[in-house]
Amino acid sequence: RPDDELDFYPIIANFGTAEQEFHIGMGSIAVPGVVAGIFEAHRALGRMPIADIMAPAIRLARDGVLVDAFHHYILRILRPIMVATKGSFSLYESPGRPGRLIREGERLRNPQAASALEVLAAEGPDLFYRGDWAERLVRDNRDHGGQLTLDDLAEYRVERRDPVVFRYRGVRCAINPPPSPGGCLVAFALGVMNDWPSERDRWGSRGHALNLLRGMRAASVARHEYNMEDGLDLDTKAVLLSEETLADWRRGLELHSLFSRGTTHISVADAEGNIASLTASNGEGCSYVLPGTGIMLNNMLGEEDLNPGGFNRWKAGTRLASMMSPAIAELPDGTRFALGSGGSNRIRSAITQVLVNLLDFGMTLGEAVAAPRIHLEGERLSIEPGFPEEALEALCSAAPESHVWPDQNLFFGGVHTVSIRHGGIFDGAGDPRRGGVVAYAH
């Protein structure tokens, strides 16, 4: 569809101390895959009826949840999207103050979504990809500046792929494979960092801080040097993660030459010893709500991070190369971790740092998740408060541009993780940056 016919326009998300531009509108919707993916995972691996699995979400949508301070903050950040259309505003309108967005302490209900999920549980994914919902979605795309067709939806397929397996500090790790580059970039960053003698340094030391920065810089440069803008193929992955390549990058990344001057994650462990890591994203939402369902569609074609070559230049029939990187790690004693994060380009840096905290410093899950983080984007280094002065001075001296945030922030991702040890001993940590929680179910 010609650019001048698209419903596609920018908004600014204001994090308080940083801003990020996103594009929304019907023209930003990519073919959703999460519905097909969840049903396929259930078909292949699940035992509980899908209706039972969806029942808690249906109940919460119908009965409502209280908006807490964190979710009120999210709504403030995404306000331009929430008020962009009548459909999106109706989802988040205050029940007690008509014409205004819902606020902290009020109850958010979505009865249309509750009813829609009940129908979806009964009819299955064809409702979304070939049935009534598909026809509604395509009709609105045709009439209001979107790009999706019935063929786009009907031809969507779930791909099952083997994970990328690598070792860090002798620990076997598995992470999301190509074509998405995020998992390989986490493995690459850790591979570059693997020669650092962590046993000699404490967390927050100069060596620890600069090694983190070295790994992040390597991943950032490699993403462009290996042309990952349109994804990553298996041959490039093999070269990227080879010991020869990692050794070359370690030698070439001396500290003095480092610079030339709306995502959800769930980690689950069960009594049978299974462990799972699932990351799903709707982006920030495009502001279009599928009529009668209470479901807002994604804006994946409007995220600059996912379209580094420019908007509306993607190839039809290809998958967007996201940074989502669900991961699993297994220690020699059999302890296993599942972890993952939301946070756009910050996903890979968040997961890298939590793995370093767990595997280099032996932190508990709660400590590893709560520890302050850094993120490198181009030559700008963002730093959370809480690093010792030694680390802070080293980081600010090494980066051409640095910014210390006043508080921990969802900008730095939200890593949610669980573990299971021998004997069925469970632990978990939800990231407070993104309202993460730990729950035990019987």
Q: How far apart are CA 304 and CA 311, in angstroms?
A: 8
What residues contact 220, with CB distance under 8 A and at least 6 apart?
A: 376, 377, 378
pLDDT of residue 227: 78
Q: Which residues are catalytic?
A: 263
Domain 164-271+322-434 homologous superfamily, CATH: Gamma-glutamyltranspeptidase, small (S) subunit (3.60.20.40)
Phi, psi of 375 (to 5 degrees): -150, 130
pLDDT above 70 for 282: yes
371 near 413, Cβ under 8 Å? no
pLDDT above 60 for 256: no
**Domains of the chain, residue spans:** 3-159+283-306, 164-271+322-434
User: pTM for the whole thing?
Assistant: 0.87
pLDDT above 90 for 152: yes
Q: How far apart are CA 286 and CA 271, in angstroms?
A: 39
pLDDT, one tens digit per residue, over 386-417 is 999 999 999 999 998 999 999 999 899 999 99
Least confident of 113-117, 360-364, 433-437: 433-437
Q: Using 50, 70 and 90 to split pLDDT, how confident is the model at 254?
A: low
Least confident of 95-99, 121-125, 181-185, 343-347: 343-347
pLDDT, one tens digit per residue, over 100-111 is 999 999 999 999
Encoded amino acid at 196, one letter: W
Class of residue 98 by CB neighbours under 10 A (exposed 0-12, middle 13-18, buried 19+): exposed
Could you identify the residue written with the tokens 């009668």?
A: 292
Which helix (H) or strand (E) covers residue 295, if one does?
Answer: strand 295-296
| HSE value, Cβ hemisphere, 13 Å, CA-based, for 342 | 21
pLDDT, one tens digit per residue, over 156-165 is 999 999 999 9
Least confident of 83-97, 224-238, 334-348: 224-238
The residue with greater pLDDT, 400 or 53, is 53
Q: Using 50, 70 and 90 to split pLDDT, how confident is the model at 261?
A: very low
183 near 176, Cβ under 8 Å? yes
pLDDT of residue 8: 96
pLDDT, one tens digit per residue, over 9-26 is 999 988 877 788 899 999
pLDDT above 60 for 437: yes
Q: Using 50, 70 and 90 to split pLDDT, how confident is the model at 262?
A: low
Nearest CA to 11 out of 250, 284, 281 is that of 284
